[in-house]
Structure 1
Amino acid sequence: MKADIRVALVGNPNTGKSTLFNTLTGLNQKIGNFPGVTVDKKTGFCTLADGRVAEIIDLPGTYSLYPKSKDESIVFSVLADKANTHTPDLVVVILDATNLKRNLLLYSQVADLKIPVIIALNMIDLSKKAGISIDIDLFAKKLGVPVVPISARKVEGIDKLKSAISFANKVALQEASIDVEAIAPGLIAKIREDLKVDNPYLALQLAHQHETVKFLTPAESDHIEQLEKEYSFHSQKAQGAETIARYNFINDLLYDTVKVPETAKDETHSNKIDKVLTHRVFGLFIFLGILLFMFQSIFAWSAWPMEKIGDGFAWLQNYLHSILPDGPLVGLVVDGVLGGLSGVMVFIPQIAILFAFISILEDTGYMARVTFMMDKLMRKVGLNGKSVVPLIGGFACAVPSIMSTRTIENWKDRMITIMVTPLVTCSARLPIYVLLIGLVVPNRNVWWVFNLRGLALTGMYIFSLISAIIVAFAFKLILKGRERGYFIMELPVYRMPRWNNVAFSMYDRSKAFVLQAGKVIIAVSVILWVLASYGPGDRFDRIEQKYKQPQYAKQLSPEDLTRSINSEKLENSYAGTLGHFIEPVIKPLGFDWKIGIALITSFAAREVFVGTMATIYSVDGNADKIESVQQKMGSAKNPETGQPVFTLAVAFSLMMFYAFAMQCASTMAVVYRETKNWRWPAIQFAYMTVLAYTASFVAYHLLR
C-alpha cells in the first residue's frame, strides 16, 4: 500500500502507544526490521479524514532520546537521519495524561528536533477520574502544537486525532522549550557549520551520540570527537544541565495548565491491590495459582473445539480417500500433507487460549508486577529484573524473547538470559505436552477441583522456569563480567483488559502459529511421506510377494494383512532405515525408530513432532480408517513386547527431552543474530542436548 504521509508514534513505555497503533491500523500492519539492525519495525496503514493514506510507524518506547539500549537508539536514528527512508513527515507524541511531568521530557527533546509534532493526550478518561484538571487550550498554546485528548483503550478521540494528522502543518511551529545553544555554545555552532546541520539540538545530540549513530561517516564522527576535545565537552555534565533546564520548563508549564489533587484514585487502588498481589510471601503463591488456573483452563476449555477440528480432518481424509483413486499423489496429499497438518491444527484452540491469558496479564498490568517480584530471585542467579521479561515471554516464543534482551544493558546478564530463555516452555512445545499427557495421564480430578492433566501441564511449565533459573546460576559462575546490572521499571496502574486487544492478540498469534508452523509442517510432511512411502532397492516388491503367500491370507484378516504390509513397508522405507540407524542411540531413552524420525524432523520446529507422528501413523495405518493422531499413538504396540509404545515412562521421557533439547532452528539463528558469533548457539545446542539426553534417560529409568 502506498502512503501519502509517514507518521511516527513516539512515547514512554506504558503510555498506550502500542494500543493507539493497533487502534489506528487494525489488522493492516506488519513487522519487519529497521535497515542495518535487528530491532523490530512495526508499521501499519490507516485512512485519514481527508481520504489520504498514512503509514504509521510504531517506534520503540523510550524515556529519553539518550538511549540505554538498541531499541531506544532507533528512536533518535529514525527522527534525526534526513536521508533515511523511514524519517517521518510528522511525529505523534503520546503523553499519559495522568503522568505528564515524566512524559514531557521526551516530548520536549523530540519537539526541539523541529519535526512537525502533534500531541496525543492519552488516558484522558483516567485523568478525569483521578480528578486531574488540564487546560488543554492553554497547554496547546504554550507548546505551540495541536493537542488532541484521546483514550486509545476506549477508542475515544481517534477521529479527531486522524483529522489533526490530516491537517497538520508541514513545517515545525512548536515553541522552543530551552535555550539549547547555551548548553555548549561554541561546540554546537561549530558542528552546525562543519557538518551543515540546520538544527542546534540535532548538533548537540550528535555530540553525545556520534559514536553510535549509523548515518555519520567515520570521518564525521572523528571530527566531532576532535571538536569535543577542543571545546572540553563533557557528555554527562551536558546531559545533566539539559535535563535540569527541561524540567524547569516542564514545571512552569504544568503549574499554569494542570491541577493535580494530592491523591490520584487509580494509583491508590493500585497500591492497595499491590499489597496483596506483590506480597513478599503470598505474591509468589498467587502467581503460581494463576499459572495453575491458566493450564487447567487450557485443557478444559479447548477439549470441545479440539475434538471438532480432529473429527473434521478425519472426515475430510476419509472422504477424499473414498472419492479419489488410490495413487501416490492422493497418498501424498491426504496422508502426507493433511495428515501432518491435522496433527498441529487441532491445537489452535489451546494456542489461542494461552495467548489470551498472556494478553490479559499484560493488559491489566499484572505481568509488570511479576517482573518486579522476580527481581530479587533473578539477582541471586546472576540476572536482573529485566531478564524476567524474556523468560516470561518465552512462554509464547523464544525468538522474540531473545530479541527483547536488547533492553538489558549488562553484557553478562544479557548473555545468560539469551542462553537460558529457550529452556522456558514455549507455545511450540504445548502441542507435544498436550498430546503426550493426554495419552498417559488419566482425565480425572483430584480434590474435586484440579484436573490431573492440568496439573501435569502446569508442572512442566513450572519445571521449565526452575530449570532456566538453575542453569542461569551455573552460567553466572562460568561467565565473567565486570559491569553491574540494574533494574528500573515503572509499574503501570491496574486496568481492565481491553477485550478487543485480547481478541486481536489471540487472532494474530494463532495466525502466526498456523502460517509459520504450517509452512514448515507441509514441507516436512511432504519429504517425510516420500521417505516413508518408498524404500531402497526392491524391498517393497519383496514384501508384497511375501504376503501373497497363502498362509498369510489364511492366518490374517484382510484388515490385519493390510496393516502388516504397511508396517513392514514403513520399517523398510528410507525413513525407517534412517530411524533404525539412530535407534541404538535413543533406545536407552525408551524411544523406538519411529520416535527417532520425529526427533530428527522436529529440529526444524518443535511442533513438527506431532505432524511427523500423524504422517508416520497415517502411512502405517489403514487408509480407510482415519483416526486422530492421539488414538493411533495410543493403540501403537511394541512388536517385541506387545505392550503399548507410549507408556508413562516413554511419554515423560519424551517430554523431558523436549523440555531441554534445542529443537528449533529459528532459535539458533536468532541467537547467532543477537550475539554475532556462532560460538554461542553452538554452546547452547551442546549443553541443551546433554541436558535433554540426561533428563530423558533418568525419567525413563525411574518410571519404567
Structure 2
Amino acid sequence: MKVALVGNPNTGKSTLFNALTGLNQRVGNFPGVTVDKKVGACKLPDGRTAQIIDLPGTYSLYPKSKDESIVFEVLADRNNTAHPDIVVILADASNLKRNLLLYTQVADLKVPVVIALNMMDLARKAGTEIDIDALSAKLGIQIIPIAARQHENIDKLKEAIAFTSSIPLQLDTIEVESLAPGLISKIKNELLVDKPYTALQMAHQHENLHFLTSQQSDRIEELEQEFSFHSQKAQAAETIARFNFINDVLFDTVKHRDGAFEETLSNRIDKVLTHKVWGFIIFFGILFLIFQSIFAWSEYPMSLIEELFIWLGSTAHSLMPPGVFTDLVVDGILAGLSGVLVFIPQIAILFAFIAILEDTGYMSRVTFMMDKIMRKVGLSGKSVVPLIGGLACAVPSIMSTRNIENWKDRLITIMVTPLVSCSARLPIYTLLISLIVPDKKVFGVINMAGLVLMAMYILSIVSAIVVAWVMKLIIKSRERGYFIMELPVYRLPRWSNIGLTVVEKVKAFVFQAGKVIIAISIILWVLASYGPAAKMDAVEAKYNSPEVKAQYSGAELDRMKSSDKLENSYAGVLGKAIEPAIKPLGYDWKIGIALITSFAAREVFVGTMATIYSVDADDSHVESVREKMKNARNPETGALVFTVASAFSLMVFYAFAMQCMSTLAVVYRETKSWKWPIIQFVYMGVLAYVASLIVYQLLK
C-alpha cells in the first residue's frame, strides 16, 4: 500500500513522517525531476507494510515552485511510481479554514483521503473547539486528531490508514463541471480522463505536466482557445466557491471562545526577535554564541581524538615490522583518518545549533528579517534559507533554491551560495586558527579563536551579498519576485530530532568526506614516498656519503633525508611545478599539493597536510597534525611556514575558492547548462587568488 502525506508548509508533515517511519526511510528523486522524494516504511496494525511518501509542502494544487508542482503530478498520474492508494492530509487544527482549501482540491481528485488533524493542543490554547465527529460526517471521511511531536494518536492514524476504503468516499465539495463545462467534458473525452477536477487542473497546468505528451499539451491549448478559457479567472472563481463550502462546513463544527483572538505568545516574542534593531542584535548574538561554543566545547574531545591517533601511530610502529606496509598504515591511512575524525566535535556542535534554530521556528524569523536587505542586492527573503543552509553544505542548499519562483533571484542565489562558509571549511579554519591565534580570553570570557572564526563566517556572508549585488546589475530579467512566508509558532526543540539530525550529518561527513580523504591520503602517500628513480638514487647517495655522515648525527641525517626524499618525490615535483604561481600568496610547494588535492573536496586539505607532514616526519617522535604544522619551517630561510600572514591568506583563499566538485555538479544539474558552473568556478578562483594575495602582502 502506498500512502502519500500531503499538507501545507509548517503543519508538522516531516515530524509525522518521522513518527510513522522511524529510521526506516530513504531519499531519492521523483521520476523525471530533481525534486527529492522521501520514502519510508510503516508497519500497520493488520500486519501489512505501507510505503509512506512525503510529498512537498504546498498551500494549493496550483504550484508556485518546482517542488509544489510535484503534488498534482503524483496524485493525478496513475503511472507515476509514487501514485498513492491513500492520501493522508495533514491539517493544522489552529488554522483549519486555510488548511481545508488543499483538502477540498485533493478530495475532488477522487483519491481515498484521511485527515490527520495536527496541533490540537495549540487550537485548544487558542480557544478553538472542533467537533470532530460532526466535521467527519460533513466531509464523509475519517478525521484523526493527533499531536505528531508527542506521538499522540499515531497508532489510531495507522488504524485509519489500514481500514480506509480503496474507493473514495468523501462527499463532493464544489460543482467542478460548472467552472468550465464544455472544456472539462472535451478534455475528459479526448484524453480519457475520468475525473472532472483532474481535467480542470490539466487545463491550468498542461504546459508543465511531465505525464502529458507534447501533442496532448498542444491539444489542450487548442481547446482552451476554442472555449475562451481564462486560467486566472477560473482559478479565482474556484477559490471563492471552495471557501464558501469551507465556511458552511466550519459554521456548525468549529466554535471560538470569547477572547480567543487575543495576541498569542509567539506574536509577543516576535515583537522583540523580529524588531528592526533588536532583532539583528539578537541574531548576531546567537551567531557569536555558536562560534564561541565551537571552540570552547570542542577543545577537550578534539584533544582526546588527537591523543588516540598519536597512541595508535606509536603502537602501530612498535608492533608492526618496519617497512612499506607499516608506513602506508601509519603515514597514509591513520594520518588521513585523524584529519577527518578530529573535527567531528566541531561539526556536531555547528549542526546541533542549526537544527535547534530550525526546530524552534527561529530560522523562519531570520528569513523574514533579511528579506528587505536581500531585495536591495537582487535576492529575495527566500534566498536566505539556501544561504544559511550553506553554513552546513552548499549542495542541498542549491537544491533548495527550487522554491524561488523568480528565475533571476534563483540563479543569483545558486551562484553565490558556495561563497558561504560550509562545514567542509570549518576544519581548515579551526586548524589554521589554532596555529596562529593565541589561546587567550578577551575580558576573561570571550575566546579570541572564536572571534576570528566568526569573522571568517561574516566575511563569507558579506562577500556573498556583495557578489549578489554585482550579479543583479549584470544579469537582466523583467520578471518580478515576491516573498510570501508563514511564520510557524515557537516550539521547544525536540531533542530526539536534534540528535538524529546531528548523527545523520556527522555520518554523512565522516563517510562521504572520509572515503575521499582516505583514498586521496593513500594516493598521496604513494606520490610522496616514491619519485623518479634518478632523483631518489641521488638522495640516497648524498646521505650515504662519508662526508655528510661525518657532519650530522643519526637523527639529523634521518630528518634531512626524509625531507629531501619528499621534495624529490612525485608529489614534490607536482608541488614545485605550481610553487612560482602560489609563492606570492605565502605558500610553499607542500601547501601547493594540498591546494590541488582539495579541489575534490575542501576538507581534503587537512588530510593532505597530515599525510605530507607524516611522510616528512621522524618516526621516533609521533606528533599530531597541529604540532607538525606549527613546527614546520622553510628549509631555505628557516622561518616558520605558517605565519599570521600565510595562515590568514590561506583561510581567505579557502573562503572564496570553488573547491568542491559535488557543488559544481549540482549547479550544472539545477541550471541545465555548463555555462554557469564554469563562470562560478572562474569568478570564485580569481576572487580567491586576488583576495589572498592582498591579505598576504598586507600582513607579511
TM-score norm. by structure 2 comes to: 0.98
Identical-pair percentage: 69
Q: Which residue of 2 aligns with 1:526?
A: 522
Letter in 2 for 1:586: I
Q: Distance in 2 between matches of 1:307 and 1:27?
A: 32
Partner SS, residue 207 of structure 2: coil
Residues of 2 paired with 1:310 and 1:166: CA distance?
A: 53
Tell me the distance in 2 between the aligned counterparts of 1:558 and 1:510. 44
The reply on whether 1:371 has 2:367 as its aligned counterpart is yes
Q: Distance in 2 between matches of 1:286 and 1:578?
A: 48
Count the aligned residue pairs: 700
User: Which residue of structure 1 aligns with residue 331 of structure 2?
Assistant: 335
- Does 2:696 align with 1:700? yes
Corresponding position: 1:599 with 2:595: yes
Instruction: Specify the alignment match of 1:465 in structure 2.
Output: 461
**Long gaps (5+) in structure 2:** none
For the 8 Å contact 2:629–2:642, the answer to whether it is kept is yes
Q: Within 5 Å, give how 1:230-245 maps onto structure 2.
A: 230-245=226-241
Contact 1:589 1:696 in 2 (8 A): yes
**What amino acid is aligned across from residue 311 of structure 2 in structure 1?**
W
1:31: which partner in 2?
A: 27
Q: Supply the AA of the counterpart residue of 1:507.
A: V
Q: What is aligned with 2:159?
A: 163
Ranges in structure 1 where 5+ consecutive residues have no aligned partner: none
1:511 aligns with 2:510: no
Q: Tell me how far 1:200 sits from its aligned partner.
A: 0.8
Find 2:671's aligned residue among 668, 675, 685: 675
Picking from 326, 335, 340, the partner of 2:322 is: 326
| Structure 1 segment 165-564 matched on structure 2, within 5 A | 165-261=161-257, 268-564=264-560
Q: Kindly provide the amino acid, as one letter, of the partner of residue 675 in structure 2.
A: R
- How big is each residue's C-alpha offset from its partner over 1:88-129, in whole Å with a ceiling of 9 and x where there is no partner? 111111111111111111111111111111111111122222
**Structure 1 Cα separation of the partners of residues 577 and 604 of structure 2:** 21
Deviations 1:604-642 (A, max 9, x none): 111011111111111111234322111111111111221
> In the superposition, relative to structure 1, how do residues 280 and 327 fare at CA in structure 2: closer, same or farther (>3 Å)?
same
Whole-angstrom CA distance in 1 between matches of 2:413 and 2:55 = 24
The offset of 1:262, in angstroms, is 5.8
What is the distance in 2 between the residues matched to 1:105 and 1:556? Answer: 85
* Distance of 2:191 and 2:339 partners within structure 1: 61
- Partner Cα separation in structure 2 for residue 557 and residue 264 of structure 1: 87
On the 8 A contact 2:31/2:81 being kept in 1, the answer is no
Matches of 1:482 and 1:209, distance apart in 2: 23
Aligned partner of residue 151 in structure 2, secondary structure: coil
Secondary structure of the equivalent of 2:37? strand
Which residue pairs with 2:58 in the alignment? 62
Provide TM-score, normalisation by structure 1: 0.98
Distance 1:336 1:265 in 2: 66
Equivalents in 2 of 1:548, 1:182: separation in Å? 98
Aligned twin of 1:628: 624
Q: Structure 1 residues 448, 358: CA separation in 2 closer, same or farther (over 3 Å shift)?
A: same
Question: Partners in 2 of 1:160 and 1:552 — Cα distance?
Answer: 84
CA distance in 2, matches of 1:236, 1:156: 41
- Give 1:322 shift: 1.9
Aligned Cα root-mean-square deviation (Å): 1.4
Deviation at 1:264, TM superposition (A): 5.3
- Provide the residue aligned with 1:639 in structure 2: 635
How far 1:391 sits from its partner (Å)?
0.7
For residues 173 and 653 of structure 1, do their structure 2 counterparts lie closer, same or farther at Cα, with a shift above 3 Å needed? same
CA distance in structure 2 between the partners assigned to 1:692 and 1:42 by the alignment:
37
Contact 1:294 1:354 in 2 (8 A): yes
Residue identity opposite 2:226 in structure 1: E
The one-letter code sitting in structure 1 at the alignment partner of 2:414 is I
| Range that drifts further, 163-172 or 422-431 | 163-172
Q: Deviations over 1:64-108 (max 9, x none)?
A: 111111111111111111011111111111111111111111111
Aligned partners of 1:57, 1:316: CA distance in 2, in Å?
45
Deviations 1:341-372 (A, max 9, x none): 21111111111111110111111111111011
Matches of 1:682 and 1:294 in 2, distance apart? 34
* 1: CA distance, partners of 2:256 / 2:520: 61
Question: What CA distance in whole angstroms lies between the structure 2 residues aligned with 1:46 and 1:529?
Answer: 47
Q: 2:135 corresponds to which residue?
A: 139
Query: Where does residue 87 of structure 2 map in the other structure?
Result: 91
* Residues in 2 aligned to 1:263 and 1:428: alpha-carbon distance in whole angstroms: 51
Once residues 127 and 310 of structure 2 are traced to their aligned partners in structure 1, the CA distance between those partners, rounded to angstroms, is: 60
Moved more, 591-600 or 634-643: 634-643
Q: Determine the C-alpha separation between the residues in 1 that align with 2:447 and 2:162.
A: 55
Cα deviation code 1:640-660 (max 9, x no counterpart): 221211111111000000110
Post-superposition offset of 1:243: 0.5
Cα drift, residue 386 of structure 1: 0.8
User: In structure 2, what is the Cα distance between the partners aligned to 1:550 and 1:267?
Assistant: 90
Cα contact 1:129–1:265 (8 A) shared by 2: no
- Counterpart code for 2:101: L
CA apart distance, 1:136: 1.1
Separation of aligned partners in 2, 1:347 and 1:44: 31
Residue 565 (structure 1) shift: 1.4
